[in-house]
């Protein structure tokens, strides 16, 4: 790697002491990122972070595999393969696969709370959560394959062939069990399924859920042992998360029952845009391994039609989450509205409307040259909170998704700004879980795996894989 990329980074606002120990060059950042991923690795998978998240998380592992694939193709393949060993018979990929080697009270709610064994569809002897997360895995598998070195192309194709039926089953599950009315969009039954747990995108709906007295056994929040309370979901929201969990558990994680009864039933534009993006990836994978790409193109087309038909609210000029229980479009302006940029066929006027919003003071405020991108919530909204979980801070995975979406629509200027900002945030604060968009300070876990993995991917884009410094 030759130079420090990008040259347009808004570094002028940084105080001279901020970066005394932070790596300055892209090369050094990529090496530091690899150290984070290696330190967080635990046998056959990588923890999101060592203290706060000591198990395997679903979409984290997909992001991690993409980052790792730039220097360790085999390890990247193993990361995804390990996750899919815990796939349910329904096709669902669980959001968490619990590591028996982690201390029993390391994370709450742990396997004793989830009790996945209540479902006959759960893997035997492999405790998991009972819900899923965004299906980014087919896209990640394609990226991993693309980064495989020449001498591993046969092994990589064989791996794609093994992964393909599992990835198809994951997508089929979402298209059927999560879309019983056949609208073309999958519903989530818990905010944790979105991956943007505490997002205001579904506040109105989620906030209405009342936890009946005595519904929850006494518990202690372990997340607060490792993170500041002001950065994490409130106690009231946490109780709602747990209440939904107990309802799903008590329904034996039976999809039909859960979908019919859950007080939380949301169609999230980002979740479904990721589904669509993965269908396009599956079409490419099918082509590579001699399977038929046509069903995947048809599935993507169906999601595309439903995104536009059901979630695009032209009066607001944006995509809105849809509360299926009450048949209402949610009004809050959050980063999930930009997810459909991942659709390569998004009509140009819709792309233009999204970009206008992304460049507006709500998401791209200009404070004397200091503007960190992209906040997860409208900075001008009354409830905007620069530090609290998903209610304003910047996360590198949403930045990475937007970067991909913008590039595929030829919006490279904005895409480059997002990379510049991501680099600057890490230089300033390290590989933190998330960042305050007002001052760039870091929050949540330190040495967070997907921050390391996705920054690697942004910095390595366009370069030859397996040429990075310290390649081992
Ligand atoms: C609940 C692991 C996960 C991420 C999610 C993020 C957070 C868990 C939590 O951490 O969720 O699944 O305990 O807050 O919201 O996106 O996958 O990094």
Q: What is the pLDDT of residue 15?
A: 29
Shortest-distance atom of ligand 1 to CA 58: 17
Q: Which of 49, 53, 60 to mutate to test the pocket of ligand 1 (most atoms within 8 A of CB)?
A: 53
Is a pLDDT exceeding 60 seen at residue 420?
A: yes
Model confidence band, residue 387 (pLDDT cutoffs 50, 70, 90): very high
Q: How far is the CA of 193 from the centre of ligand 1 (A)?
A: 9
271 contacts 186 by C-beta, under 8 angstroms: yes
CA distance linking residue 335 with residue 202, whole number of Å: 12
- Catalytic option among 223, 323, 433, 436: 433
Averaged pLDDT, 194-216 = 94
Say how many Å lie between the CA of residue 334 and the centre of ligand 1.
18
d(CA 259, ligand 1 centre) in Å: 22
Residue 184 confidence (pLDDT): 98
To which residue do tokens 């965004």 refer?
Answer: 134
d(CA 348, CA 409): 8
pLDDT value, residue 124:
96
Residue with tokens 């930045």: 399
Please tell me the residue having the least CA distance from ligand 1 atom 4.
195
Dihedral (CA of 303, 395, 337, 191) sign: positive
pLDDT band at 215 (very low <50, low <70, confident <90, very high): very high
Distance 365 CA to ligand 1 centre (A): 27
Contact of 71 with 471, CB cutoff 8 Å: yes
Instruction: Say how many Å lie between the CA of residue 385 and the centre of ligand 1.
Output: 18
From ligand 1's centre to the CA of 389, what distance in Å? Answer: 10
433 catalytic? Reply is yes
Q: How confident is the model at residue 10 (pLDDT cuts 50, 70, 90)?
A: very low
Is the shortest distance between the CB of 53 and ligand 1 below 6 Å? yes
For ligand 1, say whether the CB of 444 is within 6 Å of any of its atoms: no
- 67 CA distance to ligand 1 centroid (A)? 18
Span of 151-160, 231-240, 262-271, 284-293 with lowest mean pLDDT = 231-240
Centroid of ligand 1 to alpha carbon of 17 (angstroms): 32
Pocket test for ligand 1, best of 111, 129, 197, 398 (most atoms within 8 A of CB): 197
Find out whether the beta carbon of 197 lies less than 6 Å from any atom of ligand 1: yes
More confident residue, 22 or 283: 283
How many angstroms does the Cα of residue 194 sit away from the middle of ligand 1? 10
pLDDT at 230 over 90: no
Least confident of 36-50, 197-211, 362-376: 362-376
Neighbours of 464 (CB within 10 A): 10
Axis crossing angle, helix 137-146 with helix 73-84, rounded to the nearest 10: 160
* 140-159 average pLDDT score: 97
Res. 336 pLDDT band, cuts 50 70 90:
very high
Q: Is the CB of 59 under 6 A from ligand 1?
A: yes
Nearest to 450 by CA among 55, 70, 129, 49: 49
Q: Whose CA is nearest to atom 1 of ligand 1?
A: 192
Q: Lowest mean pLDDT: which of 12-16, 420-424, 453-457? A: 12-16
- Other C-beta atoms within 10 Å of 429: how many? 21
Q: Is the pTM of this model over 0.85?
A: yes
Residue 316 banded pLDDT, cuts 50, 70, 90: very high
- Alpha-carbon distances of 1 from 31, 191, 263, 464, rounded to whole Å: 11, 40, 51, 10
Say whether pLDDT at 9 is over 60: no
Q: Is 192 in the pocket of ligand 1 (CB under 6 A)?
A: yes
Answer yes or no: is the C-beta of 48 below 6 A from any ligand 1 atom: yes
Among 54, 102, 195, 242, which is best to mutate for testing ligand 1, by the most ligand atoms less than 8 A from CB? 195
Q: What is the mean pLDDT of residues 397-413?
A: 98
Burial of 369 per CB tally in 10 Å (0-12, 13-18, 19+):
exposed
Count CB atoms within 10 A of the CB of residue 125. 7
Q: Whose CA is nearest to atom 16 of ligand 1?
A: 195
pLDDT digits (tens, 9 = 90+) for 299-312: 999 999 999 999 99
Closest-CA residue to 130 (of 119, 141, 146): 119
Q: What is the pLDDT of residue 370?
A: 67
pLDDT over 50 (residue 12): no
Q: Could you tell which of 36, 47, 48, 64 is best to mutate to test the pocket of ligand 1, judged by most ligand atoms within 8 Å of the CB?
A: 48
Q: What is the pLDDT of residues 337-359, one digit of tens each?
A: 999 999 999 999 999 999 999 99
195 pocket-lining for ligand 1 (C-beta < 6 Å): yes
Which of 197, 284, 359, 385 is catalytic? The answer is 197
Q: Does residue 4 carry a pLDDT above 80?
A: no
Task: Please tell me if the CB atom of residue 194 comes closer than 6 angstroms to any atom of ligand 1.
Answer: no
- Residue 6 in this model has a pLDDT that exceeds 80: no
Q: Is 237 in the pocket of ligand 1 (CB under 6 A)?
A: no
Residue 471: the pLDDT is 43
DSSP string for 181-209:
T--S-PPBSSHHHHS-TT-GGGHHHHHT-
Tell the residue nearest (CA) to atom 8 of ligand 1.
Answer: 192
Q: Mean pLDDT score of the chain, rounded to an integer?
A: 92
């Amino acid at each position: 790697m030759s130079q420090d990329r990008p040259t347009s980074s808004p570094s002028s606002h940084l105080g001279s002491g901020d970066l005394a120990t932070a790596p300055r060059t892209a090369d050094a950042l990529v090496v530091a990122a690899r150290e984070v991923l290696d330190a967080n690795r635990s046998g056959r998978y990588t923890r999101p972070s060592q203290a706060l998240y000591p198990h395997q998380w679903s979409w984290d592992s997909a992001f991690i595999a993409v980052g790792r694939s730039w220097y360790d193709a085999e390890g990247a393949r193993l990361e995804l393969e390990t996750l899919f060993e815990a796939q349910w018979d329904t096709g669902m990929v669980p959001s968490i696969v619990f590591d028996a080697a982690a201390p029993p009270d390391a994370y709450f709610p742990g396997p004793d709370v989830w009790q996945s064994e209540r479902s006959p569809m759960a893997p035997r002897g492999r405790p998991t959560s009972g819900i899923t997360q965004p299906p980014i895995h087919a896209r990640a598998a394609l990226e991993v394959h693309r980064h495989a070195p020449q001498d591993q192309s046969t092994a990589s194709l064989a791996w794609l062939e093994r992964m393909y039926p599992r990835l198809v089953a994951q997508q089929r599950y979402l298209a059927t069990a999560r879309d019983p009315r056949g609208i073309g969009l999958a519903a989530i039954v818990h905010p944790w399924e979105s991956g943007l747990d505490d997002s205001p995108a579904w506040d109105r709906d989620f906030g209405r859920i009342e936890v009946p007295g005595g519904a929850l056994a006494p518990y202690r929040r372990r997340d607060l042992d490792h993170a500041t309370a002001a950065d994490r979901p409130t106690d009231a929201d946490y109780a709602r998360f747990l209440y939904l969990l107990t309802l799903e558990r008590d329904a034996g994680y039976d999809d039909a029952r859960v979908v019919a009864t859950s007080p939380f039933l949301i169609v999230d534009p980002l979740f479904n845009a990721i589904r669509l993006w993965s269908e396009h990836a599956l079409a490419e994978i099918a082509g590579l391994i001699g399977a038929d790409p046509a069903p995947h193109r048809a599935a993507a087309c169906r999601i595309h039609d439903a995104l536009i038909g059901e979630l695009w609210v032209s009066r607001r000029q944006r995509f809105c989450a849809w509360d299926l229980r009450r048949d209402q479009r949610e009004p809050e302006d959050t980063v999930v509205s930009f997810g459909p940029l991942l659709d390569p066929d998004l009509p140009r006027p819709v792309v233009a409307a999204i970009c206008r919003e992304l460049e507006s003071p709500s998401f791209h405020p200009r404070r004397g040259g200091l503007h960190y991108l992209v906040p997860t919530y409208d900075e001008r909204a009354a409830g905007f909170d620069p530090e609290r979980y998903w209610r304003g801070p910047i996360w590198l995975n949403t930045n990475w998704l937007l970067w991909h979406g913008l590039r595929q629509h030829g919006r490279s200027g904005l895409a480059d700004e997002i990379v510049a900002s991501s680099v600057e945030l890490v230089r300033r604060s390290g590989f933190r879980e998330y960042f305050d968009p007002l001052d760039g300070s870091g929050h949540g876990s330190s040495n967070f795996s997907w921050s390391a993995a996705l920054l690697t991917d942004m910095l390595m884009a366009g370069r030859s894989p397996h040429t990075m410094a310290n390649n081992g």
